Structure 1
């Protein structure tokens, strides 16, 4: 597609063709209806019986099915032409807008896309001191419009070619074929269900024209933004809308709770001492739950807007901050990424653990992901790599256990979270551009158990390296069982980390302690200690820390975790062979 072809294209002619096919479909439908009334209905009410009648009725019914299939196929041509018009009209409008802006800025665009301008400040046609910047923007917009037209051309051509083949070879008269074609056309207007194979999701997304894609983002931001297999930039765009909708919705729900009931019931109301009003108790429970999520959503919005005064910036920062997931399921869901994982050479994805909440994602958790990013960039620079390309994801796609109950002692949240995390990384693998990225799956605290469970799904985890820090066990006995090779499993454990030293459950059962110590000396609450020699992973150096701070210092600034963060950066950037090592315990 070139500029002149798209600019001069008579897209209105497509609507003329669509109208003609609509007329044909209507007329054909009337013939099918007449066939039903004048032939089939008459025969069904006749007295004609016998062998010949049976054969005739069978053949007539077959003809009726073929006519109905043909009617469906004609209608599908009309739908394809409508999508063609929408796609080409949008691309043409984008091109014309870019060319008009170029003219406004006194830039001349040639048919081949080259741009020239007057650089003489004394000339009445001087393009201005910002001409270079304007040229880059205009060129990018022109390229995007041409690519949009090419995409529409390819997808619509494939649909029309398929329907034309059906018409020429007779397969379009088959009811099953017509149904399959109709289902495929309907699928273009409906997002795949959550949990669909990411490669299938990617294929579906690529089958849409740009105009159809934009309609899906506009009409279904919650589905598109959280669907693994959708490109990261698209997910970010959809989730920006979804986040604003969630904030609006939760503000509305808080308003609809009504005024606060009185807190206490009087002696007269209870025929006894004053007690807390049950209506107040329920109102407060609902209010607190809504407010907690709203605070989390608003904090993430502030982070994206660059309104948190901590120097990390927002959407215009370098690297860009993308919102890859947001939702209010359970305790809340949020996935953010410093850098675009679809374009990065090295991708890290951290799963948090104990006490992680939605409210923390926009604050300290965003800082953690950025520290990993910075450490990986430094490692790449130290190894003299040109233009290091990193993406650092913070993945809160599950209900992390809290210290308000026994959830941290159970495996069920890790099993559920592991399935979602496995799907997420598969999605990143599917949408990555160019050569596959070097992917590092990271798990901190209970999050390491989530990563461990994610590796146990058929096909394994779409990761090249695994980092486990502050781990209470990952649900397997050997590093080799995690599917990436024991030499690609890295473990960091602070000497004084209480979580990474939580004993196996049997140690708390009278009579079992001695047996457990003998039969499973490296046992933790969720399996074999990943830092033990028997587990077989590579252990990297971290600071001992104290019993109160060591668990949270693995990604800490100012080297509170010793060599921990620099080692993590080396692994993420693909230089795990340069880590500072520590002997397993």
Structure 2
């Protein structure tokens, strides 16, 4: 495909052909109806019996099936032509827009796509000091438009060629073939179900034209934005749309609640009697308000209303919204930098008390500090290339219950985290990225559970900080090799030093734990910071009982070597960490 061919293409002819096939399919359908009425129904009401009648009825029934299959195939030709028109129209529009912008910036585009401009500041045709940058951007847009047209051309050629072959050799009259062809066409218009293998999702997405992808983002932002295997840029576009929808929906629901009912029905012996209707109203109101505040916090971050504009439209690195949803306590995944392009990708799973509101606030800055540390840890001859993800894709335990003492949330979260990293691996461009899975506090248990799925976890290194245990007894059981499991545990961290359930349950349970799980015990298995676990312990500050658990990522500025060590690991230089003896 070249510029002139696409620019001058008369795509109206495709639409005309599509209309012609619509007319043909309609007429064919009418013939089938006539056949049914004039032949099949009349024969069914006749009194013709015997061997010949049986053979005739069988043949007529088969013929009816063949006619219905042929009608389906005709309809598929029409759908293929419509998709071709949409794809070529989008590519042509993108090309014309790029060429118009080239004229506006006084750039000359050659037939082969090369761009030149007048560099003389005294010339009336001087393109300006930013001409080179503008030329690069426009050339990229032209190339993208031509590639888009090539993709549409190849796709439609394959689909029409298949249908033409079916028509010429008679396979299109087979009901199974017609069904398979229909299912394939429907697959181009239907979003894969949540939980679909990310590699299959990526193949489906790549099979769509740019226009089809755009329509999917517009029409199904909640599904596309949270589907592992969709590229990060597309997820970000979809999730930003869905976030606005979620905010509008929560505001509408709050308005629909109306004013609060009377709080008290009266007094009995001087004590207020609570109105049950008020309690119901307040429960609904508070739940909606909590979600709304979380969504709005993330929107404010994306709009650049926090921390001097960090995360806003002009933020460097860009902040991508890779997940957003109202399931459970809410879901939110953000990334500083594009994980599809970065050479080093970190994904942090938070723990106790993590919320959506936190993702928009301090938690986003936790991921940013990891990003900055990894960039500064790059080698002298390396160009820093990092993406730092904060993954709140599960219901983190809260202090208002005993969920932190159970594994169920980690098991469910681990399955989703495993799928998320598999999606990042599937969509990454070029050579595979160096991927680091990080778990803080209860989040380390989520990471541990994620490693236990078939095929393991799509990570090269694992970092565990402030961990109450990861559900296994040895670092070697995490699937990346014990020398790639890095552990940070502050001396005064109350979570990393919490006693195991066996130590709390009396001598009998303690003996049971030591027999079945030898080694220093944490709440969920062997203490990751212990020598028995076998990981690589890196240096962190001792901290205090009140701040050490939250300071592994430099939140309070007293984490010592912790954040620099994490940056070294994320940037692929784990061999350069400052080490600390296991306990």
- Compute the TM-score of the two structures, normalised by the length of structure 2: 0.96
Partner deviation per Cα, 1:528-574 (whole Å, 9 max, x = no partner): 11111111111111111111111111111575211111111111111
**DSSP-derived class of the 2:101 partner:** helix
1:30-109 → structure 2 map (5 Å cutoff)? 30-109=30-109
Identify the residue that residue 191 of structure 2 maps to in structure 1.
Answer: 191
Q: Does 1:394 align with 2:401?
A: no
**DSSP-derived class of the 1:500 partner:** coil
**DSSP-derived class of the 1:10 partner:** coil
Q: Does 1:114 align with 2:110?
A: no
**DSSP-derived class of the 1:491 partner:** strand
Shift of 1:350: 0.4
334, 337, 356: which one pairs with 1:339?
337
Moved over 4 A (4+): none
Q: Does 1:4 align with 2:4?
A: yes
* Contact 2:526 2:533 survives alignment (8 Å): yes
1:515-554 → structure 2 map (5 Å cutoff)? 515=511, 519=515, 520-554=518-552
Identify the residue that residue 374 of structure 2 maps to in structure 1.
Answer: 376
Identify the residue that residue 464 of structure 1 maps to in structure 2.
Answer: 460
Identify the residue that residue 574 of structure 1 maps to in structure 2.
Answer: 572
Identify the residue that residue 421 of structure 2 maps to in structure 1.
Answer: 425
CA-based RMSD of the aligned residues comes to 1.7
* Contact 1:315 1:322 survives alignment (8 Å): no
Shift of 1:271: 7.7
1:178-577 → structure 2 map (5 Å cutoff)? 178-267=178-267, 273-310=271-308, 312-380=310-378, 383-512=379-508, 515=511, 519=515, 520-557=518-555, 559-577=557-575
* Contact 1:507 1:516 survives alignment (8 Å): no
Distance 2:49 2:98 in 1: 72
Instruction: Return 164-173 or 390-399, whichever deviates more.
Output: 164-173
> Where in structure 1 are there 5+ consecutive unaligned residues?
none
* Contact 2:448 2:471 survives alignment (8 Å): yes
Identify the residue that residue 155 of structure 2 maps to in structure 1.
Answer: 155
Distance 2:480 2:36 in 1: 63
**DSSP-derived class of the 1:416 partner:** helix
Distance 1:366 1:262 in 2: 40
**DSSP-derived class of the 1:266 partner:** strand
Identify the residue that residue 126 of structure 1 maps to in structure 2.
Answer: 126
Distance 1:265 1:236 in 2: 49
Shift of 1:484: 1.2
Shift of 1:265: 3.2
Partner deviation per Cα, 1:190-246 (whole Å, 9 max, x = no partner): 111111111111111111111111111101100000001100000000001001111
Partner deviation per Cα, 1:355-380 (whole Å, 9 max, x = no partner): 11111001111111011111111111
Instruction: Return 397-406 or 131-140, whichever deviates more.
Output: 131-140
* Contact 2:347 2:389 survives alignment (8 Å): yes
**DSSP-derived class of the 1:251 partner:** helix
Shift of 1:127: 2.4
Question: CA separation of 1:107/1:402 partners in 2, compared to 1, >3 Å: closer, same or farther?
Answer: same
Distance 1:303 1:311 in 2: 8
Distance 2:156 2:86 in 1: 11
Partner deviation per Cα, 1:104-144 (whole Å, 9 max, x = no partner): 22222111111222233333323234323332332222122
**DSSP-derived class of the 2:307 partner:** coil
Distance 1:55 1:213 in 2: 50
> Where in structure 2 are there 5+ consecutive unaligned residues?
none
Distance 1:342 1:231 in 2: 7
Distance 1:106 1:486 in 2: 59
**DSSP-derived class of the 1:325 partner:** strand
Shift of 1:3: 0.8
Shift of 1:440: 0.6
**DSSP-derived class of the 2:565 partner:** helix
Partner deviation per Cα, 1:293-341 (whole Å, 9 max, x = no partner): 1111111111111111346342322211100000111111000001111
Distance 2:442 2:465 in 1: 10
* Contact 2:547 2:556 survives alignment (8 Å): no
**DSSP-derived class of the 2:145 partner:** helix
Partner deviation per Cα, 1:24-57 (whole Å, 9 max, x = no partner): 2122222222222222222222222222222222
Q: How many residues align?
A: 581
**DSSP-derived class of the 1:347 partner:** strand
Distance 2:111 2:362 in 1: 51
**DSSP-derived class of the 1:274 partner:** strand
Instruction: Return 298-307 or 26-35, whichever deviates more.
Output: 26-35
Q: Does 1:135 align with 2:138?
A: no
Question: CA separation of 1:367/1:218 partners in 2, compared to 1, >3 Å: closer, same or farther?
Answer: same
Partner deviation per Cα, 1:498-522 (whole Å, 9 max, x = no partner): 1011111122223336525754451
